[in-house]
Structure 1
Amino acid sequence: MVKIESFSLLTKHAIERYETESFEAGGYKWKLVLYPNGNKSKNMKEHVSVYLALADSTSLGPGWEVSAVFRLYLLDQNKDSYLILQGKERRFHTFKREWGFDKFIPTATFFNASNGYLMEDTCMFGADVFVSKERRSGRGECLSMIKDATSSKHIWKIENFSKLEKASYDSNAFFAGDRKWKIRLYPSGTNHGTGTHLSIYLILADPETVSDGTKIFTEFTVRIYDQLQGRHIAGKVTKWFSGSSLENGWVKYVSMVYFTQPSSGLLLKDVCLVEADVCVHGITSAL
């Protein structure tokens, strides 16, 4: 139960929503939520809106659901009885954490002292909660698309290309979309591009920050600069990166014949310039 003294001051101080401290019922914590002048998000006017809300779901696993039967009530101080609104069994979950009544009581009825609900500017609301069943199995996810996402560029200068002996080389790390990335180059190719093509990939450089269920929707372009003509060759794709897919790119980015041809301008004085342009457009995370 919650007793509210000087109820009229809620309006005076522009308190549109009041949440009680949490209370326990059926092994869960709940709150009463009151809108003294109606829930504006539901376009409610001239009514008091009252709801029951699940207070803390952080300890519950993905896909949790709690079904509860509840009733909300208001004390009639004249008759020492209650105005009771009985709720149906409702399912509380990630996307619906509160249920109740947009039109719990008209404000005209509530403020009329002869009805006994508001006496000497004091009232008392309450709730009974019965948890009927629960389900904690399954999983959920949330996709957050990024409005006005910005791209980040990174230029990698590779010198003494002909002397590269390792199977692959990584650029320095750079940030895009609050994540660390690297360009990975296979000088002699990889997989079915081995010996015939350069292979180039974009790598998610901080896999330890990618939790289970996280996916990163990324648009990226990788270019090799034509140092003679002032232009470039480029590959552009959109890909999902995740803990199980940390790299995406091209097995056959450019043929070794064309790359090493002096007239291509891609390898000049044994130097090539690789540029990555990376933009993160969305992130999926587990609920």
Structure 2
Amino acid sequence: MGNSSSRGRSEPRQGEQRTMKWSVDGFASLLDKGDGWTYSRVFELMGYNWYLKLNPRDKKSGDDGTEYVSLVLQLDDLSVKPDTVVKASFKLLIYDQAYGKHSEHQVRHSFQTASTSSGASCMVSLEKLKERPSKFIVNNSCTFGVEFIKVKASKVSTTSETLFVRKPSVFDEARTYTWDIEDFFALKNSGHSPEFEVGGHKWSIGVYTSSDGNHLTLDLCMKNTDGVQHDGSANLVEFSLAIKHQEGGNHWKATGRSQFTSNARCWGWTKFISLEDFKDSSNGYLVKNKCCIEAEVALVGSSKMK
């Protein structure tokens, strides 16, 4: 575990160790093992625990089969609390042991949770690693490392929700409300059904012309959300909306499961049905300007925000 006095610090203290070198002796034997990650031991630098991951025969997605030596830094899962983000600037290095022409890759990365990798690696083609006169491999040994520049931790602002789904009971059975519209065109661009009650709450069906002007939008709205929102709760509602076929055919129906709150009172479908299909009387949905919209509503759960 890291020293708690280092939390939130961005610059290394004078004389503080900030570089880890990892030498792999018998590198040819590691190459013989093929593609796969090898892990260093966990080490502490800058107040946190880390480890390096090495793949000597990595391949890039969609590449031509070229093999790369890849090096990745990872934050140890016991090093930081889940509500902390660790922002780190560092260099990943593959050392040239003769000429000092190291292969390095500078990274800035936010480790959002424990046991997360940098998401970026120092990649050198295996062919380049072996070529002369570079001295990446000396006496069958290859050296890798990480050098930290800055490390800073901060608390993350987290909102969490717990959703509770009730076991089905007779009290949760869907209630059906039918809205008979005698003259659809009298609604003009939008309209709401009379209110109806389900589960102690009042609801209405909304019908609109979509923003593209080519579809009918249907939604279900909870009318009295204020009374249930002061404690941060929400209602999980399973519902369906349907335009009934007036001549005994199949209804045009959609089903959803959404949470209704004071800032999300209405849920539905913006392109429920095309206006062309809806207005075509041969389809049986709008007949002599009349239509029938049906809602099935059941409260099946609730949630709390923290």
TM-score relative to the length of structure 2: 0.44
TM-score relative to the length of structure 1: 0.46
